[in-house]
Amino acid sequence: MRIIIEDDYTKLSLTAAQIIQKQLLKKPDSVLGLATGSSPLGMYKNLIAMYKKGLISFKNVHSINLDEYIGLSENHPQSYHYFMAKKLFDHIDIDKKNTHIPNGLSCNLAEEMMAYEALIDRLGGQDIQILGIGENGHIGFNEPANKLELFTHVENLAESTIKANSRFFDKIDDVPKSAISMGIGSIFKAKHIVLIASGIKKAPIMKEFFDSTVSSLLPASFLKLHKNVTLIMDKESANLIEEIKNY
Ligand code: F6R
From 63, 126, 133, mutation site for ligand 1 pocket: most ligand atoms within 8 A of C-beta = 133
| Cβ–Cβ under 8 Å, residues 124 and 193 | no
Residue 175 backbone zone (phi > 0: left; psi -120 to 50: alpha; other: beta): beta
Residue of 67, 117, 127, 149 marked active site: 67
Atom of ligand 1 at shortest range from CA of 199: 16
Give the Å distance between the CA of 40 and the centre of ligand 1: 9
Give the Å distance between the CA of 58 and the centre of ligand 1: 23
- Using CB distances shorter than 6 Å, the residues near ligand 1 are 35-39, 66-67, 132-134, 138-141
Average predicted confidence (pLDDT) for the chain: 96
Q: What is the mean pLDDT of residues 67-95?
A: 97
Q: Is the pLDDT of residue 246 over 60?
A: no
**pLDDT at position 21:** 98
C-alpha span between 173 and 132 (Å, rounded): 24
Q: At what angle do helices 41-52 and 9-26 cross, to 10 degrees?
A: 50
| Cβ–Cβ under 8 Å, residues 47 and 160 | no
Encode pLDDT of 143-180 as tens digits.
999 999 999 999 999 999 999 999 999 999 999 999 99
Q: Is the pLDDT of residue 247 over 60?
A: no
Instruction: Please give the backbone phi and psi of residue 232, each rounded to the nearest 5 degrees, phi first.
Output: -115, 120
Q: Is the pLDDT of residue 244 over 80?
A: no
Q: What is the mean pLDDT of residues 222-235?
A: 98
- For 85, which DSSP code? H
Give the Å distance between the CA of 140 and the centre of ligand 1: 7
Who's near 76: CB < 8 A, 6+ residues apart? Answer: 82
**pLDDT at position 245:** 59
Give the Å distance between the CA of 109 and the centre of ligand 1: 22
pLDDT confidence tier of residue 20, bands split at 50, 70 and 90:
very high
Active site residue 67: yes
C-alpha span between 60 and 93 (Å, rounded): 9
Among protein residues, the one with the nearest Cα to ligand 1's atom 9 is 140
How many Å separate Cα 215 from the centre of its chain? Answer: 20
Question: What percentage of the chain has pLDDT greater than the value 70?
Answer: 99
Among protein residues, the one with the nearest Cα to ligand 1's atom 12 is 37
Atom of ligand 1 at shortest range from CA of 202: 16
Q: What is the mean pLDDT of residues 128-147?
A: 97
Q: What is the mean pLDDT of residues 114-120?
A: 98
